[in-house]
Amino acid sequence: MNGLVGDVRRIAVLRANALGDYLMAVPALEALKRAYPGAHLTLLGTAWHAAFLAGRPGPVDEVVALPPISGISTRETGHRAPDGLCEELRAREFDLAVQIHGGGRFSNPFIRRLAARVSAGLRAPGAERLDRWVPYTDYHHETLRFLQVAALVGAGGGGLEPRVAVTPADRAELARALGSPPPGLVAVHPGATDPRRRWPVDRFAAVADLTGRPVAVTGTREEKDLVMGVVEAMRRPAIPVVGALGIGGLAALYERCDLVIANDTGPRHLAGAVGTPTVAVYWCGNLIQAGPLSRTAHRPLISWTTACPRCGADGVDPAAERCPHDESWVRDVSVDMVMEQARDLLSGRTEDQA
């Protein structure tokens, strides 16, 4: 039976992965908070969630930072839940435990060990059942998937795109690191965790030049070569921002931008969540699961490559084994395609500011 659960005071939600993964879950978290406004919502996340969400307005009241647990908070094998962890969580007496983490092979048994009055979440074939569940299927947008889970416990309505508040502490971090960004700034983010999702560096540089705007090129320390590759390939000067900002400071930087141009990556989600228009390059399969759900301010450009550019291995069948090659699968997106959308969005920003 679906519908609201009575007398809910404490809610646990499992979503213990990366930035973009969290942001796609925000609409579902907000739906839960609206449905149970008096309940204390605990996110079972990781250390970065705890740091980023501390003191930040939003649906999460508290973060419990989980240690590395295989299939839960890390992809590495060999990490069992520490002795006593589930006992400590059970002692919180959660009324509702929600799994929006994945198919449930590892996460559903973990959720059931919390002994909440009602458990709800996703279930792939063969995974353990929860009290209320929806099937976990391939090629289903993550945000819509999580909203379906929220609906299992009577939580619905609201927006589809995530929103994140930028705090005074975020803006102070930005000021300490970079001073005051110039007006009309455009940010470019050439990185992505999976190399196959990366648009070529020289194309990012070409687009950055063609905007005619001040440009910041953002990336993590691990992405320094990509960032500097864009900066060095540009004909105009740009500001490299490599590992200089935490997630909050990066949110404050993107808030000051007129546009963010990126790959399919967490910072693209972050830019959208603070209200900045985005243009992003997506592989077709990833767009289905992680692309923006609206088009007024967010313009995805789609690569229709369906096989490895080097060996021809199938990339569409979710059950197919991943080939070892890391060539870009999104090269069929041209500079002109990206610039058409960038100019359209930038012209809109100019009109808004006139």
Is residue 102 classed exposed, middle or buried when 0-12, 13-18 and 19+ CB atoms within 10 A define those classes?
buried
Q: What is the pLDDT of residue 158?
A: 81
Look at the pTM and tell me if it is higher than 0.75.
Answer: yes
What does pLDDT average to over the chain?
A: 96
Looking at 3.50.50.60, 3.40.228.10, 3.40.50.300, 3.40.50.2000, the CATH number of the domain 10-152 comes to 3.40.50.2000
Going from N- to C-terminal start, the domains of the chain cover: 10-152, 168-353
Contact by Cβ (8 Å): 209, 335: no
What letter does residue 256 receive in the DSSP assignment? T
d(CA 40, CA 13): 11
Token pair belonging to 110: 């973990």
Is residue 348 scored above 90 in pLDDT?
no
Average pLDDT over residues 198-226: 98
Q: Which amino acid is at 23?
A: L
Q: Which CATH superfamily is domain 168-353 in?
A: Glycogen Phosphorylase B; (3.40.50.2000)
pLDDT band at 159, cuts 50/70/90?
Answer: confident
Q: How confident is the model at residue 354 (pLDDT cuts 50, 70, 90)?
A: very low
Query: Same topology for domains 10-152 and 168-353, yes or no?
Result: yes
Q: How confident is the model at residue 1 (pLDDT cuts 50, 70, 90)?
A: low
**Contact assessment for residue 297 and residue 272, using Cβ atoms and an 8 Å cutoff:** yes
Q: Are 239 and 217 in contact (CB under 8 A)?
A: yes
Q: What is the mean pLDDT of residues 146-174?
A: 94
DSSP 203: H
Q: Band the pLDDT of 156: cuts 50, 70, 90.
A: confident
Tokens 């992809």 belong to residue:
75
As a whole number, mean pLDDT of residues 92-102 equals 98
Residue for token digits 């009290």? Answer: 131
Q: Encode burial over 183-214: b for 16+ CB neighbours within 10 A, e otherwise.
A: ebbbbbbbbbbeebbbbbbebbbbbbbbbebb
Beta strands, E only, 156-254: 186-189, 215-219, 239-242
Burial class of residue 140 in the structure, from the number of CB atoms within 10 Å of its CB (0-12 exposed, 13-18 middle, 19+ buried): middle
Task: Give the pLDDT band of residue 82 (cuts 50, 70, 90).
Answer: very high
- Report whether pLDDT(91) > 80: yes
Q: Is the pLDDT of residue 239 over 80?
A: yes
